[in-house]
Amino acid sequence: MTAPQNPAPPGNGAATVLVANRGEIALRVIRTLRRMGLGSVAVYTDADAASPHVAAADLAVRVDSYLDAEAVASAAAEHGADMVHPGYGFLSENAAFARACARAGVVFIGPPPEAVEAMGDKIRAKETVAAAGVPVLGGFTEKPGSPLDDDALAKAAEATGYPLLIKPSAGGGGKGMRAVRSPEELPAAAAAARREAAAAFGDPTLLVERLVERPRHIEVQVLADTHGNVVHLGERECSLQRRHQKVVEEAPSPLLTDALRTEMGRAAVAAARSCGYVGAGTVEFIAETGPDGELSFSFLEMNTRLQVEHPVTEEVVAIRGERGIDLVELQVRVARGEPLPFGQDDISWTGHSVEARVYAEDADRGFLPSGGPVLALAEPAHARVDSGIAAGGEVTSAFDPMLAKVVVWGPDRAEALRRLDSALGEYLLLGCVTNTAFLRRLLRHPRVLSGDLSTDLVENDPPEAAPEQVPDEVYAAAALDHQLDLVPPAPSADRFAVPDGWRMGGPAWTPWRLRAPGRDSAVVRVRADGPGAYLVRIGEGGPVAARARRDGPRLTVTYAGRTRTYLRAHDPATGYRWLGAGGTVWSLHEEPAAAVRRDGDAAADGTVRSPMPGTVLAVPVAVGEQVSAGQALAVVEAMKMEHTVTSPVDGTVAAVAVRPGASVPMDAVLVTVEPTSATSEENPS
């Protein structure tokens, strides 16, 4: 631990809270602490030394890891913090951390360790809430340390009935979950789930439940104080997910009736009381519609912390008719021993709120992780944005890929969805691929618009795919942006110094060979046609009139009678030129003429590039080696996800550009394969 980066908070006698987290949740907690007049202490690792949460806090202290419970608790005590807010993730549901805080003499802003332990184990949680009368899914469990053998597993599965869902008793985030639809699949699926559970959580114990087809994921926010008061703040619909992780959440759910909302709220309160809960927590349910059309719900798990999607509840809850609450403030007040300032009868709901998570990932490449510098950032002006990044920062694979949350409120669901779509159209991040354009397409999905949601929608009924080709107007804008780089900053007396293509005998075209990741090159020719005016030719197309001007990070282009303003940036490290508009971002770089793909045929090109920024784990080929199409050439890892890159052609390895352990940006050349020439084999000279 090193000395704090920032000056100490003023000695005004106010309580101080250490925020044991990073990114957007750390900043969100710090904002509330400042509004409450409380001091804040941030923790950071070397990878986060320049992150916004470090600068936002009154004090910042270095730690080796956000997961080092003793170090974080000691930092709180050493630097005068009275309380610790864990945020979510990291140590937020760690009973040992809560106890470490108590030993250090600081208050843990969360439930008692016993409640964390009771709800943190899925098997124990299910037994606890079932005893309190909360409906649970049929299934069976293993005893810790005593896995069922194949025969016992088969008998229990048969008694429950297929299909089944296998999941680890410990942990979450979808890790280790397996759907099993037949007895033949069971042994292998259970073995794989145990391995993944042991690796991820240190506990291979399994919970097996009846699999609900096309389930709805609905959760209820609860609050409990130390005076015996427990209330619920309504539900959130969290059914839009990818890889068992949420992407869009809303409140209230378009599925529930008032009667079912009341019933589900009572079940959530009963679940919280069953474990002696204190603070803010979330009880998650699976909802399903039976063959008779009747809606039912069953307990899934309880998250003993603040949820990522808590803002949608804050936006719709009204206390005694006044809309808007601050769950972080309520967490702090409950941890101080204050009673809840309202009862269940004081709570109502007004309007509709929707939240979209902005992830550093390429949704069009199977949600592969991405990363890179934050070259430029534009956020919507008329929406709530809980963000953890800033221009000039870096998105790395060291942490969770969620970068920000865009949250809106509307008087009804349709209006809220429209406002969120509009807000996402204003969100632009250049330098790192995000899922923003995918989110806009998802919000326009007919099933999303009608409220016909399910957790498998993204996987089995995905939204409209992104356009395969870069629009001509974007190629034109990128070429014009390059052209503007050549314009002298001041008028020149030398006619030949002005890059407008003028020459004796007539103007000339300036060619720009541009390529977007994963796409063929395009040749764009530009010729000046007067002050600020140009002619642009794309490929073999005819000339199109255009105009272009810059205003700081903005590039305004008129092309074929259509004017559009882009956020623009250039990454000198990679040579990529980034352009963004309407929530969609493109990256293109200029290539030398020799780099153009042979005959424009992608399959004939043996240049193999990294599909994501990350670390090279292996390169199992060498120069001169014969390889076949589909053979592994390299393995790249990012955010604990491995991706094997294969050869697109049969051929010979001509060059290996990387070694294991190297960090590579997205689209970096890894290996070059010289394709086997069918022509030379069939017609030898």
Q: What is the CATH number of the domain that holds 94?
A: 3.40.50.20
pLDDT-derived band of residue 401, with 50, 70 and 90 as boundaries? very high
pLDDT-derived band of residue 593, with 50, 70 and 90 as boundaries? low
C-alpha–C-alpha distance, residues 267 and 452, integer Å:
24
**Which of the pair, 554 or 622, is modelled with greater confidence?**
554
Residue 433: inside a domain:
yes
Residue 220 and residue 200 in one domain: no
**For the whole model, what pTM was predicted?**
0.86
C-alpha–C-alpha distance, residues 401 and 414, integer Å:
29
- Stretch 169-177: mean pLDDT: 76
Residue 589 and residue 497 in one domain: yes
Q: Peptide bond before 592: cis, by omega within 30 degrees of 0?
A: no
Tokens of 233: 């703040």
Residue 76 and residue 154 in one domain: no
What's the confidence (pLDDT) of residue 505? 55
3: pLDDT strictly greater than 60: no
Convert the pLDDT of each residue in 483-504 to its tens digit.
Answer: 999 877 655 555 555 555 555 5
CATH number of the domain where residue 198 is located: 3.30.1490.20
436: pLDDT strictly greater than 60: yes
End of a domain among 560, 593, 626? Answer: 593
pLDDT averaged over the chain?
A: 90
Residue 8: inside a domain:
no
What's the confidence (pLDDT) of residue 508? 85
Contacts 24+ apart (CB under 8 A), 668-671: 668/609, 668/610, 669/607, 669/608, 669/609, 670/608, 670/609, 670/610, 670/616, 670/619, 670/633, 670/634, 670/636, 670/645, 671/608, 671/619, 671/621, 671/633, 671/634, 671/645, 671/647
Among 252-256, 363-367, 514-518, name the most confident range.
Answer: 252-256
Residue 115: inside a domain:
no
Question: Residue 265 CA to chain centroid, in angstroms?
Answer: 29
What's the confidence (pLDDT) of residue 666? 75
Residue 288 and residue 390 in one domain: no
Instruction: Report the chain's terminal Cα–Cα distance, integer Å.
Output: 71
- Stretch 124-145: mean pLDDT: 92
Residue 374 and residue 412 in one domain: yes
Structural element, H or E, at residue 397: none
Residue 345 and residue 369 in one domain: no
| DSSP code at position 509 | P
Residue 381 and residue 452 in one domain: yes
Residue 535, CA atoms < 13 Å, CB-side half-sphere? 11
291: pLDDT strictly greater than 90: no
- Stretch 306-323: mean pLDDT: 98
C-alpha–C-alpha distance, residues 442 and 182, integer Å:
32
What's the confidence (pLDDT) of residue 290? 82
Residue 89: inside a domain:
yes
CATH number of the domain where residue 258 is located: 3.30.470.20
Convert the pLDDT of each residue in 196-219 to its tens digit.
Answer: 888 878 889 999 999 998 899 999
CATH number of the domain where residue 553 is located: 3.30.700.40
Query: In which domain, by residue range, is 312 found?
Result: 215-350
Angstrom CA distances, 80 to 68, 553, 679, stand at 19, 43, 76
Residue 198 and residue 263 in one domain: no
Tokens of 563: 């004017």
pLDDT-derived band of residue 7, with 50, 70 and 90 as boundaries? very low
- Look up residue 635 and give its amino acid: V
What's the confidence (pLDDT) of residue 611? 81
* Partners of 13 in beta bridges: none
CA-nearest of 454, 465, 468, 533 to 501 is 533
- Stretch 288-315: mean pLDDT: 93
Q: What percent of the chain has pLDDT over 70?
A: 91
What's the structural domain count of the chain? 6
**Which of the pair, 591 or 68, is modelled with greater confidence?**
68
1: pLDDT strictly greater than 80: no
Convert the pLDDT of each residue in 264-287 to its tens digit.
Answer: 999 999 999 999 999 999 999 999
Residue 63: inside a domain:
yes
540: left (phi over 0), alpha (psi -120 to 50) or beta: alpha
End of a domain among 317, 350, 383? Answer: 350
pLDDT-derived band of residue 121, with 50, 70 and 90 as boundaries? confident
Query: CB count, 10 Å around CB of 235?
Result: 28
- Stretch 655-667: mean pLDDT: 85
Residue 523 and residue 540 in one domain: yes
Structural element, H or E, at residue 655: strand 651-656
Residue 43: inside a domain:
yes
Residue 298 and residue 261 in one domain: yes
CATH number of the domain where residue 660 is located: 2.40.50.100
598: pLDDT strictly greater than 50: no
What's the confidence (pLDDT) of residue 555? 98
What's the confidence (pLDDT) of residue 158? 94
Residue 126: inside a domain:
no
List the single range of 321-335, 473-487, 494-508 with lowest mean pLDDT.
494-508
Residue 587 and residue 503 in one domain: yes
> 3-state SS of the chain: helix, strand, coil percent to 5?
30, 35, 40
Question: Alpha-carbon torsion 252, 256, 261, 265, what sign?
Answer: negative
657: pLDDT strictly greater than 50: yes
Angstrom CA distances, 204 to 96, 148, 154, 155, stand at 20, 11, 18, 20
Residue 581: inside a domain:
yes
pLDDT-derived band of residue 640, with 50, 70 and 90 as boundaries? low
End of a domain among 350, 367, 395? Answer: 350
Residue 612 and residue 504 in one domain: no
664: pLDDT strictly greater than 50: yes
